[in-house]
Amino acid sequence: MTIIAAVDGSALGNPGPAGWAWYVDESCWAAGGWPESTNNRGELTAVLELLRATAHTGQDLLIQADSQYVINSLTKWMPGWKRRGWRKADGKPVLNDDLMKALDAALAGRQVRFEWVKGHAGHPANERADDCARAAATAYQRGTAVPTGPGWTHGGPAPAQPDGLLEPADSAATLATYERAAVPAPQGEVVPGATAERRARLRAQQEADGTLF
């Protein structure tokens, strides 16, 4: 059998109160977060926590994600980063390398496929993962109890897993720098001094050699 699960992250302010979530169905989902983090760290942590929760099942995994950053990082760019000692093609350190290394270890020996789904477009599982991640972020923002979900319930509970990775003592400014470097500009955003064609060529080259992230 193949487990099909959606993952998502949320950050209110980016950086700001943040959450992550994975979702299989209403009886099987989990969420968490931090007082301050970024959307990308939420997205990556959702995948990591899903891998940890399902490691004991021995089943293949199909992960539905709306983040091309996450999918490309784990399926295209990671081999090159590892060869270069977790550095990008331009020699700079890989962003979120603590999570990337943990994900690399969690993926080892697993049969995992990724499917990109458009966010906020009515995909039921993606919408619920987004709801759960945002609810966790909102709880941290308000100082209320975090809705963590039932966890893995299909075929029995998962074995106890290590606590989720703690956020480093990054300042808000540092986290903001990470996020600006890691999040593509929205479609249609005007970049001074660059034509649409030039921006498209530059992004294609950056994606090809892994320097974008």
- Between 84 and 203, the more confident residue is 84
pLDDT for residue 33 = 98
- Rounded to 10 deg, the angle between the 97-107 and 39-54 helix axes is 20
Coil, strand, or helix at residue 184?
A: coil
Share of the chain above pLDDT 70, in %: 73
pLDDT for residue 161 = 53
- Between 150 and 122, the more confident residue is 150
* pLDDT, tens digit, 9 for 90 and up, residues 35-73: 999 999 999 999 999 999 999 999 999 999 999 999 999
Instruction: Kindly report the pTM of this predicted structure.
Output: 0.77
Cα three-residue angle 162-33-99, rounded to 5 degrees = 55
pLDDT for residue 1 = 87
Distance separating alpha carbons of residues 200 and 206, to the nearest angstrom: 10
103-131 burial: b if 16+ Cβ within 10 Å, else e = bbebbeeeebebeebeeeeebebbbbbbb
* pLDDT, tens digit, 9 for 90 and up, residues 8-23: 999 999 899 999 999 9
Distance separating alpha carbons of residues 81 and 99, to the nearest angstrom: 13
Sign of torsion, CA 11 12 16 20?
A: negative
- Each domain of the chain, given as residue ranges in start order, spans 2-209
Catalytic residues: 8-9, 43, 66, 120, 130
In the predicted model, what is the mean pLDDT of the chain? 82
- Give yes or no for residue 128 having a pLDDT over 80: yes
Fold exhibited by the domain 2-209: Nucleotidyltransferase; domain 5 (3.30.420)
